[in-house]
Amino acid sequence: MSAELHTLGVAELARRLQARSVSSVEATQHLLTRLEAAAALGAFLHTDAELALAQARAADLRLSRGEAGPLTGVPVAHKDIFVTRDAPTTAGSRMLQGYRSPFDATVVARLGAGEDAATPGAGMVTLGKLNCDEFAMGSGNENSAYGPARNPWDVSRVPGGSSGGSATAVAAQLVPAATGTDTGGSIRQPAAFCGVSGIKPTYGTCSRWGMVAFASSLDQAGVLARSAEDCALLLSAMSGFDARDATSAERPPQDFHRQMLAPRAAAGAARPLEGLRIGLPAEFFPPALAHDVEAAVRAALAELQRLGATLVDVSLPRTELSIPVYYIIAPAEASSNLGRFDGVRYGHRAAQYTDLAQMYRRTRAEGFGAEVKRRIMIGTYVLSHGYYDAYYLQAQKLRRMIAEDFQRCFAGCDLIAGPVAPTVAWKLGAQDADPVQSYLADIFTLPASLAGLPGMSVPAGFGQAGLPVGLQLIGNYFQEGMLLHAAHALQQATDWHLRRPRGAS
Amino acid sequence: MALTPQDVRRIAELARLELSEAEQSATLAQLNGFFAIVEQMRAVDTSGVEPLSTPLAAVQEVALRLREDAVTERDERTANQRSAPAVDDGLYLVPRVIE
């Protein structure tokens, strides 16, 4: 019985916990043993068995008293970009080594024990904190100050990033679901590279309170899990208005699981997606798209068509421009956000300095890694006197044009689909020579990020060397229910999302 | 327009980053590579387009929320200072700035 607990997704494990056929302590202990044995994958930066088991016992008590919610007792792990009171938070940076937050991020509190007695949380059990690129800047998890995470499908390859530890842990079945954050693709791309499902909701859906800030107008929390259904369950519990985040969307709580299950008006049993129009932007299928990725994506699209969806041609003419636009706006916001790391109130401080100015310069030189410094330099430059209009303001104008392009598309379709990334996962170290070139690989995830639209990565089979490929689905604002519905329909008809890497079964 | 080594030194000073000679020259090459990618963006005609600073403003009015000007946080000085590099008697310590 216990031998297979790691193979259960969130929904199935929750069912067994509710039926009391398995206890949270059993599930937690099983996964703790398993993740310890898988330490070489580099998925976790911190675990605390004692704390997790105490939470599991509390969950079992709630379950026995009939006071449990739908997720109570199910283990989860958090990207180490969410601050946690009971565990250190590093954001993958040397700057925050040993940092202890005085409070929990809203997302952590809502999935866990809750914010206070009046607002109980979902009661999930936190197994630990997950590896990520430093301050979520990267797409391979190679920019972590604590070593890379490895792709369970081929440990010589990257899991993607920046939520690389989250994708690795879910794919290797060390945890049924994990939180992630997505600024320019940091949930969708690692989900694609590791063959798991990942959703980044509409900007403003999840509170950014307690998320270590990278680019505040782009950062959004989401979920990586083994199915669209599991994503829906977590997203419902962690989202919702939070007055402490100035950009939190003022909407009533959403039941994404119910929205996912709601049948479409024209649907039949064999054609659940009847009437759904899926737009394919020509720009998402350029000559540079790897053939294996294109073949897998086209096969998944054919499956959606078989389920009743109609494929229509649309255009996002500024897709390529989204790269410079994003890499101006995100570093500009990052250079401002990371100004707080001055070695005074928290974090690293240099040991040797002669005055305050040198203390700042050395502290930041020692605390930040190469990619973070690069982006701080870019951001500082584009915001500096004489360059602001030409770069930053121009990028913000193009950002609006990109967002308007999407609205023109949605006049003729309900969802937009394409690949998540131009290739499958690359080898560790393959992009060391020219870090700026790696920015180009973010081309398909950046447009939805700039527009603030919800996006998903759904497993779509396999490309070269048996590596996973992700299908990207993009919805209009607050259309997470439609995204999840389409992804769920695909997963009811195919088994790509159920395949596991060898050694993780 | 390529950046010069002086530009890199000036940006590093503005960003409060100490860069070694080797880091400066590597940074110069990478920034110039980056701004080559950015050039295509500068050529686009955006006259009359309003800058978009927060995404939902693309489709709806976004007003900054205001709240009562009242104390909402508890005093958690000890917890807040737990991760500070140098504190004494509740104060953050920094090098002397006024002689």
In sequence order, which ranges of A199-321 are alpha helices (DSSP H)? 228-238, 256-261, 291-306
Residue B31 lies in a domain: yes
Residue B25 lies in a domain: yes
How far apart, in Å, are the Cα atoms of A83 and each of A28, A260, A410?
Answer: 22, 30, 36
pLDDT above 60: residue A1: no
Residues of A in contact with B59 (CB under 8 A): 403, 407, 477
Antiparallel, parallel or unpaired: β A277-281 and A415-419 = parallel
CB contact under 8 A, B14 and A380: yes
Touching check for B63 and chain A: CB below 8 Å?
Answer: no
- Residue B1 confidence class, pLDDT cut points 50, 70, 90: low
What proportion of chain B, given as a percentage, has pLDDT over 70?
99
pLDDT above 80: residue A283: yes
- CA–CA gap between residue A40 and residue A151 (Å, rounded): 11
Min Cα separation A393/chain B (Å):
6
Residue B7 lies in a domain: yes
Residues of A in contact with B38 (CB under 8 A): 324, 327-328, 391
Residue ranges of domains in chain A, CATH in brackets: 2-259 (3.90.1300.10)
Residue B67 lies in a domain: no
- Residue B67 confidence class, pLDDT cut points 50, 70, 90: confident
- CA–CA gap between residue A301 and residue A273 (Å, rounded): 12
Min Cα separation B15/chain A (Å):
6
The predicted model scores a pTM of: 0.97
The string of pLDDT tens digits covering residues A311-366 is: 999 999 999 999 999 999 999 999 999 999 999 999 999 999 999 999 999 999 99
Question: Active site residue: A163, A186, A197, A227, which one?
Answer: A186
Residue B6 belongs to domain spanning: 1-44
ipTM: 0.96
Question: Chain A, 61-100: which have a CB under 8 Å from a chain B CB?
Answer: 98-100
CATH of the domain at B21: 1.10.20.60
Question: Chain A, 249-288: which have a CB under 8 Å from a chain B CB?
Answer: 249-250
Say which range, A209-218, A394-403, A405-414, B39-48, has the weakest mean pLDDT.
B39-48
Number of domains in chain B: 1
pLDDT of residue A435: 82
The string of pLDDT tens digits covering residues A4-49 is: 999 999 999 999 999 999 999 999 999 999 999 999 999 999 999 9
Residue B53 lies in a domain: no
Q: Return the amino acid letter for A264.
A: R
Which H, E and C letters describe A299-368, residue by residue? HHHHHHHHCCCEEEEECCCCCCCHHHHHHHHHHHHHHHHHHHCCCCCCCCCCCCCCCHHHHHHHHHHHHC
Can you tell me the mean pLDDT for A81-87?
97
pLDDT above 80: residue A497: yes
Say which range, A104-108, A180-184, A434-438, has the weakest mean pLDDT.
A434-438
The string of pLDDT tens digits covering residues A432-450 is: 888 888 899 999 999 999 9
Residue B82 lies in a domain: no
**Chain-centroid distance, C-alpha B27:** 18
Asked if A363 and A341 count as a contact pair (C-beta separation under 8 A), the reply is: yes
Residue B64 lies in a domain: no
